[in-house]
Amino acid sequence: MTIQKQNLITIISVILSIVFSSYIWDFIKLPYKEANIVGVYSSNKYNAINEILRYIFFIFVPVCIFVGLQFYYKNISLNIFFAQLKVNENIYYKDLKLLNLVLTLLLSLTILEFFSIPFDLINLDLFHEGQRLTSAYKSLLDNSLWSGSYVIISIFYETLSAKFIWQLFDHESIGLMRFVDRIFILLCKILIILIIYKITIFSKLKFLYKEFFLVICSLILIPNLFDYYNSRIDAEYLSFREFPVLILTYFFLEIISNKNTNKILIVFLGSISFFSMVWSIDRGLICNFLIIAIFFYFLLTKQYKSSIILFFTVLLTWILSLVFLQNEFKFFLDNTFGLLKNINYIFGEIHPKPFGSDPGSFRSAKILLGVILCLIISFNLFKKNNLINLSQFKIAMLFLAIVSFLTYGYNLGRSGGSHLKEVFGYSIIFMTIIIIGNLLQFISKKDLFKYTSKFKINIFLLIFTLSLFFLSHTINLKNIITFNERFLKYVNLNDSHYLHKDDILFINTTKNIIKDYECAQMFTNEAAYLYLLRKVNCTKYYFVFAIGSIVDQKNMINDLENVEIIITTESNDKGHPKYRLPLVKSYIEKNYSILYDEDIISSQRNKRIILKRKLN
């Protein structure tokens, strides 16, 4: 059978398998098990595990069809595949000096951009930013972690990031919390450039084309994946919470750079296991899945010493964390397992059927097809007649494809808005590398720079890099010079600069009403009020959006026994705790009365109410 006919059969088979997977989607339905949590899943009697099964089936059927046909046509064999997973040679690139110069230029320009960006005043997001401000403020006062705040994303994101920078500057402000986010975005941009740099070295592109590859890929990706200016509602393709996934990816690429594996890097990689869980629970799960995959990679390639080092580093990291955190470690486990068990039932959304009629169906189908394409292309690189790419390049692309597959899990149960957009980033990285790499591979055959002097090449590359950077970025020299002045002004702005006038009035009024109380309890999703009032939450359930189970509601009710003040809002939103937490609502209605009822009806905010415990 001719190669053309094989390819045609493969393409048709994959397309038909995708159509079949889409058709089967709605038939993958496990029986619903009552979770006693008010939410979309419970109202639709929908089992949360359906999301995972549907996703795996939709991805694996076409990928397995493709791989199966490649084995059938003997384009791939297990022996050849495993042989190419083994790194048998060190990467040597004789013109590394010029490539390093380009890398230095890109990193320098990226840092200059950071100092150039303006400090815009955007109204405070009382929900998402309040989630972080209130938890951080409580920890700042009492040094509590999970014991003081029931976190939904992670202790670092919600508590420690803001707390640490407040302690560093001995000052609490909204501006400082937002500034630390910018630092993490900068670090993620730097890691993207370093990852592209490693893949550039792995590629078989000729002199100068490697440099063009690094420049073009970096300047396509870094302004589009991350944005200093975006809000939570208008998220980019990657969040700065990807930091541990990106650093793990970079460490792995460094490890496979040489046939003699760097054992120190394996130690660093293994230490990410616990750190990533503290950084962000969902990203931490992905990092730990990837660490497990790397562990088995070491076993498959007979790097037994590396696998042992990785295993014991992970184990030692968790043991040290247990010793260091002491009682907080138990609260961490209880918080994490409780959250993972209930989170999708609390605020889960049913994933739209690919190519269906539901809202978001086309967008989700596009991203799912991207994941399938990444996996198929990565396996295709391992064909026995593919001598164009080095083993390191193939392994790196397979790793990125696996990351793309795993990170779509962020979207399962939260299939809308920014969550859907944020899972597309790794597929974009993968496809950008493949497209630009193949395009430059084709152009390099023309020998366009064969008779050009090295000096002229360097000047041309410099102009090309600067031109492309300034076309995709904005650097304001005046802002760079005045950065320190602008920064100090920004981080010392008081809260009122970030609030609507009605919010300012409410905060000032409430401060006088509850000034004699040490704490207050939130019964609204707008968690920022406590920080703005400079009060701590009376229970660890400061962010009531994160709870929903009967157990959590009963625990919260027990903690309310000695609580005098509750802040709530009047809302018809089904996500409001009065709809989602019926047991707590009944308890509050029985034991509390209105102390203050806001008389301002605003289109900006729900009507706010302060409740006080009734006298027995």
Write down the domain spans for the chain: 3-91+191-198+226-469, 498-613
Span 394-415, average pLDDT: 89
Residue 597: beta bridge partners?
A: 609
- 615 CB-near residues (< 8 Å, 6+ apart): none
Is the pLDDT at 576 greater than 60? The verdict is: yes
Choose from 4-18, 188-202, 247-261 the range with maximum mean pLDDT: 188-202
At residue 522, the pLDDT reads 94
* Residue bearing the bigger pLDDT, 56 or 421: 56
Amino acid at 568: T
Residue 609: beta bridge partners?
A: 568, 597
* Residue bearing the bigger pLDDT, 322 or 451: 322
DSSP-derived 3-state class of residue 592 = strand
Is the pLDDT at 527 greater than 60? The verdict is: yes
In this structure, the dihedral spanned by the alpha carbons of residues 135, 140, 144 and 150, taken in order and rounded to 10 degrees, is 0
Task: List the structure tokens of 229.
Answer: 């200016």
* Residue bearing the bigger pLDDT, 65 or 38: 65
pLDDT tens-digit map of 75-91: 777 888 888 888 877 77
Span 569-592, average pLDDT: 90
pLDDT tens-digit map of 459-503: 777 777 777 777 777 788 899 999 999 999 999 999 999 998 889
pTM above 0.95, yes or no: no
> Which segment of 159-168, 232-241, 432-441, 456-465 scores lowest on mean pLDDT?
232-241
Helix pair angle (161-169, 128-142), 10° resolution: 60
* Residue bearing the bigger pLDDT, 438 or 292: 292
Is the pLDDT at 65 greater than 70? The verdict is: yes
Residue 42: beta bridge partners?
A: none
Beta carbons within 10 angstroms of residue 5's beta carbon: 10
Span 262-277, average pLDDT: 94
At residue 517, the pLDDT reads 93
Q: Are 221 and 428 in contact (CB under 8 A)?
A: yes
For tokens 């003040």, the residue is 565
Is the pLDDT at 519 greater than 80? The verdict is: yes
Per-residue pLDDT band at 535 (split at 50, 70, 90): very high
Per-residue pLDDT band at 133 (split at 50, 70, 90): very high
At residue 234, the pLDDT reads 44
At residue 233, the pLDDT reads 42
> Which segment of 46-55, 395-404, 446-455, 500-509 scores lowest on mean pLDDT?
446-455
Is the pLDDT at 108 greater than 60? The verdict is: yes
Is the pLDDT at 182 greater than 90? The verdict is: yes
- Average pLDDT value for the chain: 88
* Residue bearing the bigger pLDDT, 48 or 90: 48
Amino acid at 455: F
At residue 600, the pLDDT reads 67
Per-residue pLDDT band at 386 (split at 50, 70, 90): low
How far is it, in rounded angstroms, from Cα 55 to Cα 278? 27
Residue 613: beta bridge partners?
A: 592
Give the DSSP letter string of 295-334: HHHHHHTT-HHHHHHHHHHHHHHHHHHHHHHTHHHHHHHH
Is the pLDDT at 601 greater than 70? The verdict is: no
* Residue bearing the bigger pLDDT, 3 or 484: 484
> Which segment of 249-258, 335-344, 408-417 scores lowest on mean pLDDT?
408-417
Q: Are 171 and 88 in contact (CB under 8 A)?
A: no
Task: List the structure tokens of 424.
Answer: 């597309």
Span 58-77, average pLDDT: 88
How far is it, in rounded angstroms, from Cα 455 to Cα 461? 10
Is the pLDDT at 34 greater than 90? The verdict is: no
Longest dimension (CA), the chain: 94
Is the pLDDT at 95 greater than 70? The verdict is: no
How far is it, in rounded angstroms, from Cα 313 to Cα 293? 15
How far is it, in rounded angstroms, from Cα 411 to Cα 417? 10
Per-residue pLDDT band at 454 (split at 50, 70, 90): low
